[in-house]
Amino acid sequence: MRCGSRKTEMESLYLLIPVSVVLVFAIGAIFWWALKSGQLDDLEGPAYRVLMDDDTPRPSAASEDKPPSVDPDQSK
C-alpha cells in the first residue's frame, strides 16, 4: 500500500528544487547588499549610545539669553 505514486513525488521536486535555488540566491544577494552598504559595520555602537545617552535635557540658546516669562494668570 503506497501513499503517493513515484511520479507525483518527482513532479513536486521539479518545482521545489528551482524555487529553493532562487530563494538561496535571493538571500545571498540581500546579504551581499547588506555587507556592501555598511549595514553590519557597527553592531555595538547604537547599543552603547542608548546606554550612555545623557538624560538631562540641554537648555536651548534662546532660553539662556532671556529671563523666564511670567504668566499673569498664574500669579493670582
Q: Where are the alpha helices (DSSP H) in 1-76?
A: 6-36, 45-51, 61-65
Q: Tell me, yes or no, if the pTM score tops 0.85.
A: no
67: amino acid identity, one letter: P
pLDDT at 64: 57
- Per the listing, cell 547604537 goes with 46
- Mean pLDDT of each 10-residue bin along the chain, 76 residues long: 67 93 98 92 82 72 60 62
Residue whose C-alpha is closest to residue 23's, from 67, 15, 63, 51: 15
Count of Cβ atoms closer than 10 Å to residue 72 Cβ = 7
